[in-house]
Amino acid sequence: MDEKTSLRYQLISAWCGPAFLVTFVVLWGIFGHNLPNPSPALTATELAARYADNLAEIRFGFIGALITVVLYLPWSAVLAAQMVRIEGRYPVLAYLQLLGGGLTVMVVSFSAFFWVAAAFRPERDPALIQLLTDLGWLCIDLQYACTTLQMVAAALVGLADKRPVPLFPRWVCFLTIWCGLSFLPASLTGVLKTGPFAWNGMLSYYIPYLCWLGWYLIASICMIKEVGRRMGNPDPLSKTDERVIGASA
């Protein structure tokens, strides 16, 4: 594949970032009624009524989210390719970032899958609907380490970037690490049902999710600019570039 075509695919993949951000907020958040999300303190009957009252929107939101969550994959792939250019011969952190991105997709997918199952038979025993809802939230909240790994790996490579125009400014790298660690309070969602550390709490939900999506938008802008610079001033193919392009061909 020639470099011009490769860069075009990289640009499309980088723009998958904003596309994922919009679809995630609209489908998973708004149509899925996760803004605000249901309290874990709701009784099984109250939770079943919530599904029944918003059945069409919940189904549309989470089924749509299961489809569009794959936009996170090409974005993670192009980030890995950009990190390889910085790391050089042994891109361990780029691989870790890519694995973290892939696992993030699986975690988000499984959570939405449980909620689709809960909405599939709204007439079922409310206790089973409550169980499926619990599984979805505990799945996405307690497995945050996959995303934290992705973010920290990207930040470490960004800090090692000594080019005149780095992929990420240093402040973005430090912000990325802080945002990745902001998920730590979500560890308590497996224990608490009320308060700021419950899965609908400020410290376990609103702050870490806002940090994640905020970082995701900033990183996307940096990545799109990086591809744009290369398209305006394409570098001669190096051995590293050949390996990246060959892997994506």
* Model pLDDT for residues 85-136, shown as the tens digit of each residue: 999 888 999 999 999 999 999 999 999 999 999 999 999 999 999 999 999 9
Residue 59 has a pLDDT of: 96
**Segment (H or E) for 14:** helix 3-23
Cis peptide before 36 (omega within 30 of 0): yes
Place of tokens 């904003």: 18
Q: How confident is the model at residue 242 (pLDDT cuts 50, 70, 90)?
A: very low
Question: CA-CA distance, 152 to 101, in Å (whole number)?
Answer: 12
DSSP 25: I
Q: CB burial class (10 A; 0-12, 13-18, 19+) of residue 43?
A: exposed
Residue 120 has a pLDDT of: 95
Q: Where are the domains of the chain?
A: 3-232
Give yes or no for residue 30 having a pLDDT over 60.
yes
Contact residues for 122 (Cβ-Cβ < 8 A; gap 6+): 48, 51, 52, 55, 129
Percent of the chain predicted with pLDDT > 70:
93
Tokens encoding 192: 């608490």
Question: CA-CA distance, 114 to 91, in Å (whole number)?
Answer: 35
* Model pLDDT for residues 50-88, shown as the tens digit of each residue: 999 999 999 999 999 999 999 999 999 999 999 999 998
**Please, where are the H alpha helices in 88-206?**
92-120, 126-142, 145-159, 170-181
Amino acid in the structure at residue 14:
A
Mean pLDDT (the chain, rounded): 91
Residue 231 has a pLDDT of: 86
Give yes or no for residue 243 having a pLDDT over 50.
no
Amino acid in the structure at residue 196:
P
Intra-chain end-to-end CA distance of the chain, in Å: 7
Angle among Cα 238, 18, 9 to the nearest 5 degrees reads 35
Residue 223 has a pLDDT of: 95
Residue 240 has a pLDDT of: 44
Question: CA-CA distance, 70 to 68, in Å (whole number)?
Answer: 5
Residue 84 has a pLDDT of: 94
